[in-house]
């Protein structure tokens, strides 16, 4: 509100398992109603389709299904189902492709495995029609103990080939100059949790 800027409030799926699907969106939606800026209520990292469906029912207007640990074929299948449910209701969708690690366990001297391939990303987006993609580009969730090693040219390639909104996960602790560079390369949404 001080910045007079719209914002996306994300609620982690595990939070909902802890507090319940009645209290969490009800509290968030009450705060949103009181706010003078536009706010999107987004479900972050749900790993079950049924949780996405229930979140939609309870008032979330943006949802993420993260089944990136499954095969790409299965990720496409399940993401498609989310999109088919959400789009007729005007709800935004996000999916994850590749492997985004925990920052605490990463060795800065080792190459990061499981980064998103831009050709796979293009196929994924074409087949699922998802609105926003969270690619693995070197950022990591949690507390960095080293400067994050973000692959900006990979962000550019993915952005160019998919033409969808890209979310940079693991935003806490990424230096401002890197955030700006990531936005220039094609990132639209920065996830800040920790």
Give catalytic residues, as residue numbers.
44
Residue 191 touching ligand 13P (CB under 6 A): yes
Dihedrals φ, ψ of 11, to 5°? Answer: -120, 125
Measured between alpha carbons, how far is residue 101 from residues 39, 73, 180 in Å?
28, 21, 22
Distance CA 158, CA 137 (A): 10
Does position 142 interact with ligand 13P (CB under 6 A)? The reply is: yes
Burial (CB < 10 A; 0-12, 13-18, 19+), residue 147, is exposed
Closest separation in Å from C-beta 88 to ligand 13P = 26
Nearest-approach distance from CB 29 to ligand 13P, in angstroms? 20
d(C-alpha 135, C-alpha 99), whole Å: 8
Single out the residue of 172, 181, 183, 188 in contact with ligand 13P (rule: CB under 6 A): 172
**44 touches ligand 13P (CB under 6 A):** yes
Query: Residue 194 interacts with ligand 13P (CB under 6 A)?
Result: yes
Considering only residues 150 to 169 of the shown chain, the ones binding ligand 13P according to CB under 6 A are 169
Q: Which of residues 97-136 bind ligand 13P (CB under 6 A)?
A: none
**How far apart, in whole angstroms, are the C-alpha atoms of residue 186 and residue 179?**
11
CB-CB contact of 95 with 128 (8 Å): yes
By CB under 6 A, tell whether 175 contacts ligand 13P: no
Assess contact for 166 and 188: CB atoms under 8 A. yes
Kindly state the smallest distance separating residue 171's Cβ from ligand 13P, in Å. 5
Q: How far is the CB of 62 from ligand 13P (least distance, A)?
A: 12
**Contact flag: residue 170 with ligand 13P (CB under 6 A):** yes
CB-based burial of residue 73 (10 Å sphere; 0-12 exposed, 13-18 middle, 19+ buried)? exposed
Tell me which of 171, 178, 185, 187 binds ligand 13P, using CB under 6 A.
171
Residues that bind ligand 13P (CB under 6 A): 44-45, 141-142, 169-172, 191-194
């Amino acid at each position: 509100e001080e910045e007079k800027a719209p914002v996306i409030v994300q609620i982690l799926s595990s939070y909902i398992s802890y507090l319940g699907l009645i209290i969490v969106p009800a509290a968030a939606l009450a705060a949103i109603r009181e706010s003078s800026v536009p706010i999107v209520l987004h479900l972050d990292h749900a790993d079950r389709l049924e949780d996405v469906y229930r979140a939609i029912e309870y008032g979330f207007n943006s949802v993420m299904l993260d089944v990136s640990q499954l095969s790409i074929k299965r990720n496409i299948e399940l993401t498609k189902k989310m999109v088919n449910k959400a789009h007729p209701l005007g709800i935004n969708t996000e999916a994850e492709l590749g492997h985004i690690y925990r920052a605490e366990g990463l060795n800065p001297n080792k190459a990061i495995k499981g980064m998103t391939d831009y050709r796979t990303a293009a196929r994924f987006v074409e087949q699922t029609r998802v609105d926003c993609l969270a690619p693995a580009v070197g950022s990591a969730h949690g507390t960095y103990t080293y400067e994050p090693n973000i692959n900006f040219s990979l962000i550019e390639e993915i952005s160019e080939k998919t033409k969808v909104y890209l979310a940079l996960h693991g935003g806490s602790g990424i230096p401002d100059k890197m955030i700006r560079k990531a936005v220039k390369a094609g990132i639209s949404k920065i996830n800040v949790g920790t």
